[in-house]
Structure 1
Amino acid sequence: MAEAPQRREEGGERILVVGPSWVGDMVMAQSLFKTLKARHPRGRIGVVAPGWSRPILERMAEVDEVAELAVGHGEFGWSARRRLAASLRGRFDRAIVLPRSWKSALVPFLARIPRRSGFTGEQRYGLLNDRRRLDKAVLDQTVKRFVALGLSAEEAARGDFAIPRPALRIDPKNLAALQQRHGLAARPAIGMMPGAEYGPAKQWPLAYFHKLAARLIEQGFEIRVLGGPKDHAAGEAIVSGLTHAHNLCGETRLEDAVDLLGDCEQVVTNDSGLMHVAAAVGSRVQALYGSSSPAYTPPLTDNAEIHYLALSCSPCFQRTCPLGHHNCLNHLLPARVLAAMDG
């Protein structure tokens, strides 16, 4: 992607989007980018984003530029924000700020972007000059909130607007290299994602993943367990004692996960960032929900099966089970998921 300033095309609006800080949210933000490109086909979209998200954004056809913000999660990073703002000054007509924090609105303000849109939150008066009230009853999903900020306030208030589906590009050459490097593709592939960054209340038991993997291998499939370095031990528990099962947690980059998931016939996943990646590359998704709600952050695809018990105590949206029993996922048995995969 080109980083140098571009000459504005006649009639093309230059829009800077301050992106979210989570993998799944960044994938869902593509629905906003698609909306903006549909309405401003000659426009240019830049995204302020942490460095880790560049591989995701580079797989989105709608994104013209990534403006990397070198600030760690939770850090303020005043100097880094000022430097980035100075580099963007005079280059954009409009900014859309997706996070609701005060600090997330600083870069567009310091860059003197004329119009700065976002939802009210953390006393951002002055930083934003197009402040929107968030009606959670109308905008009841994260992706709706993102897309709404790309519409007029009147359109957004109705809540009946279209939500374009994310679609990430696959790199066939990178996929072939990964298959060779890790000894993959001897069989049709099933992906498994046991991680969930938010906390253990969103994680299906590892013993269930292992049991399901064993049955799928018996049916002739290859298992690919994907996740970050902190998921490596979980991956080992899943593949232990199994043939045709590969623990790739911590062994691949984010862009590698995009390509490997695009090569999977189905995936079994907690409500996680990689769930949204899998949906965006077209794999059939078996989505496991416990403490979170499929109504709020569903996989944005028609090719998904939602597994959710809707117990009286869920969704609690807690990092750990407040009741100590974790029944929302402990009672969601592998046989149910296998039956859905076979169906």
Structure 2
Amino acid sequence: MSENLTEFFYALTPERVLDAVELEGQRCTGRFIVLNSYENRVYQLELEDGSFVVAKFYRPGRWDDEAILDEHRFLLDLQEREILVTPPRLLKGGATLGEVEGIRYSVCDRVGGRAPEEMDDEQLRGFGRSLARIHAVGRLREADARIDLDPDILLADNLDTLLDHDLLPDSVASAYEDAVWELHERSTPLFDEVEFQRIHGDCHLGNLLRTPVGLVFLDFDDMAMGPVVQDLWLMIGSRDAWGERRRDLILEGYELMVPFERWTLALVEPLRAMRMVHYTAWLVRRWEDPAFKLGFPDFGTEAWWNRALRDLLEQLERLRELT
């Protein structure tokens, strides 16, 4: 990945965004809103016919073309089966992926609605039914260019990233590294028998939209090959009785559509640990982006790393109790 390409991505302007969309034959009014996204650059644009689209410009170096097209294929597979998602529009020439000065982008229709702050019992059951339908479609084909959500990638590889960037303070480095390796050792056997398939990968309330026609699933940017329980545990939330009730309601709806292997709930705590390490490595990889330094001003301080180590050790202790 060239330095010039990265600098162009950091310096994307509304004018360049509008030009890219208009090259696809869609005339814009010039009105736009920058949408919240650290990983990509995402804009809502008004078209001259009064409709709105969302243009997503992909961060260079994260996904290659085939990985992005895996996401697009999943979304189009879901749309074909009338599952509520935001699939990419076809651009000129029939492709879903465009490029401007080396930066890839896609365009989808804007969907109006409200992000749910909470769900009642019936809404949790409905979420479970919808998620089961997504997973049924996810089984229909592979996504070979996407990562596998397993301990080797989310723990071992991410630890390599942290060590390569040399950002771990001496005061926590040894304990942090030891904790990750023990998490890896305890987690790996639990993944030996689990089936991997296409999943959303980052399924939580912030990636859902309540609309008059139903619940829309947003932002498949983190889609992966992984165990389906990954798409449940973020919605389950807490480990207390209320979390167990949410889990049971979601699974009540889910199992009306497809079977769920309850033994895979044992993967929730390993997946939680893997997400913690992956999040830290993500911050490290993106630290040269000016937006990250503004959004995470305390990252990299000794106090930040002390909190990260404490949280990781607490998670490790939970895993010791389970394995």
Q: Could you state the TM-score of these two structures normalised by the residue count of structure 2?
A: 0.31
Q: Using CA pairs below 8 Å that are at least 6 residues apart, which structure has the higher relative contact order? A: 2
Flag the structure with higher helix content. 2
Q: Could you state the TM-score of these two structures normalised by the residue count of structure 1?
A: 0.30
